[in-house]
């Protein structure tokens, strides 16, 4: 029976012996006659042979198997390790070929060499290919839940690290550089390839236990002595920029120290760090609301007399200032041009960041947590060998999340630290748990990684054996100092009359059910009315029919537009959000009526 042949969904002819046709096609592709990224697939139900050359197809590499033997030999692997062969050479030799999902439908792919059978056509390059690059960096990840793998990947992109060797020449919006990054003791095969020099964390001693309740709900207890020795210390860079704009009529901004006579002048103290050119001097320590680039803008509206423009009386201060709660040393200043040809000034400020309460940390297994308490080094439990943990991790985070890879990393990290070697935590191929236990036992420790710890207050021995070892911890970009926000009064939104949202807009703080319960629990219930009244407004309601009353400014009276009532009009205090709801209902033809009652 003839099979139709299509090239990128375009019919090009028929073929009688489709099996020979497909076999010959693949041989020519492996020999280099046909390009390596051209695929062929068979649809037996529709009697179609499809040749695909389209862009955007997902391809993946597989090792070709012939006569129950993979074409990739041990000699080839040795040559690869010595650099005598490359990946491209394997492609040209026909050992590796790229397949798309359609072609893979007709293939028999073995996961391991021992799984090869008579009908096997290909072999996986590695079982690690099931992971992405970031996931393959996590040790013993085959022991974790799949959901934890996804959650463990995101923090890798958010950790403090040396992300680029030329970071001191870059003006990124905000970035953090870790002072003392380390190689993980427990690492995977992918670490050796992708993360050989790009380090993102530090190896710390971790005890899995509770202490005084300060590490509940994923919180961490961190030793103050460890912090003072430099653990997780980093530098935070934040960049600011301002442009010297041009306006119609030949007007433009002026860069310099603003004149005290202009509008919105901030006071002499705010400009104290500016040099004569209006730009902040290097290594100046600036804080919230300090001006770092002085700029004066012309009047917004051009319908002004030339006299007012030339005198500068109506010019406004539009200087670049530090944001609320921000501080640091001026690290770098660049004056350049924008794409529009305007003068562009960029300022980079650096700030030393030492771990503090509320800073966020994580391990590579998706177990994130914030510092719940920083305790003195003398108040941290110690082992019989004199080791005090840097971090105390809550054991309650293990059973429900089933991150058993974390426990294996803790065990492997302990073995690696004591023996001065790296431990292979590659999923499926890494070191066996039993071997790690035997090695730990030979070093004079219990094979399960537990030790006797002593109470730092009483000096008594803890009755329970404490699991203690080494973990690779990452410090994330979420720092309490960047989240600090406070407001008494400030801007409100035009529509709802409620405070604006967000720290950058000097907005209000979210206050909801849990915050409500906290105030009530602390005996501060009287504050609740104030907290929930940021948009107080007053409406007038007709007591007879419940409709909203209307104000007659000519006769200076209130009346009901429905029943005409003028006497029984009550003043009611509500939130503006409720007022807005009533008006929106009226706008769509629904007339709300309010039933009034005395509160007391």
**Positive or negative CA dihedral for 142, 143, 149, 152?**
negative
User: 459 lies in a domain?
Assistant: yes
**Residue 129 — φ and ψ, nearest 5°?**
-65, -20
CB count in 10 Å sphere of residue 575? 17
**Could you give the angle at the alpha carbon of 251 between the alpha carbons of 249 and 254, nearest 5°?**
175
Q: How confident is the model over 450-476, as a mean pLDDT?
A: 95
pLDDT tens for each residue of 206-231: 999 999 889 988 999 999 999 999 99
Q: Do residue 121 and residue 9 come from a single domain?
A: yes
Tell me, what's the pLDDT at 132?
83
**Residue 463 has what DSSP assignment?**
S
Q: Which two tokens stand for residue 2?
A: 């003839």
Q: Do residue 264 and residue 411 come from a single domain?
A: no
Q: Do residue 251 and residue 336 come from a single domain?
A: yes
Q: How confident is the model over 545-556, as a mean pLDDT?
A: 86
User: 411 lies in a domain?
Assistant: yes
| Domain limits for position 83 | 3-125
Tell me how far apart the alpha carbons of residues 402 and 398 are, in angstroms, rounded to a whole number. 6
Is 578 or 307 the better-scoring residue by pLDDT? 578
Which among 140, 158, 157, 162 has a CA at the least distance from the CA of 149? 140
Q: Do residue 505 and residue 554 come from a single domain?
A: no
Q: Do residue 102 and residue 88 come from a single domain?
A: yes
Query: Taking the C-alpha atoms of 576, 579, 584 and 588 in order, what is their torsion angle to the nearest 10 degrees?
Result: 180
Count of structural domains within the chain: 5
User: 31 lies in a domain?
Assistant: yes
| CATH code (residue 513) | 3.90.1800.10
Is 60 exceeded by the pLDDT of residue 312?
no
Residue 113 β-bridge partners: none
User: 593 lies in a domain?
Assistant: no
Q: Do residue 371 and residue 228 come from a single domain?
A: yes
pLDDT tens for each residue of 267-310: 899 999 999 999 999 999 999 889 999 999 998 654 444 444 44
Q: Which two tokens stand for residue 48?
A: 């179609």
- Residue 39: CB partners within 8 Å, gap ≥ 6? 51, 52, 57, 59, 98, 99, 100, 102, 103
Q: Do residue 448 and residue 372 come from a single domain?
A: yes
Count of helices and strands (H, E) across the chain? 14, 34
Q: Do residue 184 and residue 280 come from a single domain?
A: no
**Residue 390 has what DSSP assignment?**
S
User: 599 lies in a domain?
Assistant: no
Tell me, what's the pLDDT at 508?
87
**Residue 25 — φ and ψ, nearest 5°?**
-60, -45
Q: Do residue 146 and residue 213 come from a single domain?
A: yes
Is 90 exceeded by the pLDDT of residue 438?
yes
Tell me, what's the pLDDT at 301?
54
Q: What is the pTM of this model?
A: 0.81
Tell me, what's the pLDDT at 309?
47
pLDDT tens for each residue of 132-155: 888 888 999 999 998 888 888 888
Q: What band does 600 get if pLDDT is binned at 50, 70 and 90?
A: low
Q: Do residue 346 and residue 378 come from a single domain?
A: no
Tell me, what's the pLDDT at 134?
84
Tell me, what's the pLDDT at 562?
85
User: 288 lies in a domain?
Assistant: yes
* Residue finishing a domain among 318, 353, 388: 353
Q: Would you say 333 and 320 are in contact if contact means Cβ atoms under 8 Å apart?
A: no
Q: How confident is the model over 125-131, as a mean pLDDT?
A: 86
* Residue finishing a domain among 297, 322, 353: 353
| CATH code (residue 453) | 2.40.270.10
* Residue finishing a domain among 331, 353, 375: 353
Q: Do residue 192 and residue 249 come from a single domain?
A: no
Q: How confident is the model over 486-503, as a mean pLDDT?
A: 87
User: 221 lies in a domain?
Assistant: yes
Q: Do residue 413 and residue 558 come from a single domain?
A: no
Q: Rg of the chain's alpha carbons, rounded to an integer?
A: 35
User: 480 lies in a domain?
Assistant: no
**Positive or negative CA dihedral for 165, 167, 170, 172?**
positive
Is 60 exceeded by the pLDDT of residue 426?
yes
């Amino acid at each position: 029976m003839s099979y139709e042949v299509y090239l990128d969904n375009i019919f090009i002819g028929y073929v009688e012996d489709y099996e020979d046709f497909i076999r010959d096609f693949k041989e020519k592709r492996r020999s280099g006659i046909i390009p390596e990224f051209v695929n062929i697939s068979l649809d037996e139900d529709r009697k179609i042979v499809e040749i695909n050359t389209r862009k955007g197809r997902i391809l993946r590499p597989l090792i070709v198997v012939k006569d129950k033997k993979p074409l990739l030999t041990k000699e080839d692997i040795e040559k690869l390790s010595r650099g005598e062969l490359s990946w491209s050479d394997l492609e040209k030799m026909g050992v590796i070929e790229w397949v798309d999902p359609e072609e893979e439908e007709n293939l028999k792919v073995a996961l391991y060499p021992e799984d090869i059978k008579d009908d096997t056509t290909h072999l996986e390059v590695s079982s690690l290919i099931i992971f992405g690059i970031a996931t393959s960096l996590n040790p013993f990840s085959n022991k974790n839940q799949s959901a934890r793998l996804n959650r463990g990947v995101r923090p890798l992109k958010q950790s403090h690290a040396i992300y680029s060797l030329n970071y001191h020449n870059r003006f990124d919006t905000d970035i953090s550089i870790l002072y003392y990054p380390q190689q993980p003791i427990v690492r995977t095969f992918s670490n050796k390839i992708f993360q050989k020099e790009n380090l993102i964390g530090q190896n710390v001693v971790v005890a899995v236990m509770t202490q005084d309740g300060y590490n509940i709900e994923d919180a961490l207890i961190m030793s103050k002595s460890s912090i003072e020795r430099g653990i997780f210390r980093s530098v935070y860079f934040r960049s600011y920029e301002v442009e010297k704009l041009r306006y119609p009529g030949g007007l433009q901004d002026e860069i310099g120290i603003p004149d005290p006579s202009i509008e919105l002048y901030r006071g002499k103290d705010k400009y104290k760090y500016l040099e004569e050119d209006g730009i902040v001097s290097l290594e100046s320590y600036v804080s919230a609301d300090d001006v770092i680039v002085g700029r004066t803008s012309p009047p917004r509206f051009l319908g002004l007399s030339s006299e007012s423009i030339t005198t500068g009386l109506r010019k406004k201060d539009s200087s670049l200032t530090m944001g609320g709660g921000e501080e640091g040393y001026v690290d770098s200043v660049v004056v350049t041009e924008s794409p529009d040809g305007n003068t562009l000034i960029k300022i980079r400020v650096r700030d030393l960041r030492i771990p503090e309460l509320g800073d966020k940390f994580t391990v590579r297994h998706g177990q994130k947590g914030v510092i719940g308490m920083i305790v003195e080094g003398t108040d941290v439990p110690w082992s019989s060998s004199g080791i005090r943990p840097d971090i105390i991790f809550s054991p309650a985070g293990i059973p429900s999340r089933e991150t058993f890879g974390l426990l294996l990393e803790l065990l492997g990290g302990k073995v690696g630290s004591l023996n001065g070697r790296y431990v292979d935590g590659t999923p499926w191929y890494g070191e066996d748990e039993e071997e790690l236990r035997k090695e730990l036992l030979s070093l004079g420790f219990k094979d399960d990684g537990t030790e006797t710890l002593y109470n730092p207050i009483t000096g008594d021995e803890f009755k329970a054996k404490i699991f203690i070892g080494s973990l690779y911890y990452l410090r994330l970009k979420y720092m309490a100092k960047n989240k600090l926000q406070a407001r008494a009064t400030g801007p409100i939104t035009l529509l709802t009359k409620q405070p604006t949202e967000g720290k950058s807009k000097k907005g209000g703080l979210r206050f909801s059910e849990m915050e409500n319960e906290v105030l009530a629990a602390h005996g501060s219930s009287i504050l609740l009315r104030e907290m929930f009244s940021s948009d107080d407004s007053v409406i007038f309601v007709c007591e007879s029919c419940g409709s909203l009353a209307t104000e007659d400014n000519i006769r200076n009276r209130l009346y009901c537009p429905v029943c005409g009532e003028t006497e029984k009009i009550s003043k009611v205090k509500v939130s503006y959000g409720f007022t807005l709801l009533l008006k929106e209902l009226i706008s769509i033809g629904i007339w709300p009526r309010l039933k009034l009652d005395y509160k007391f």
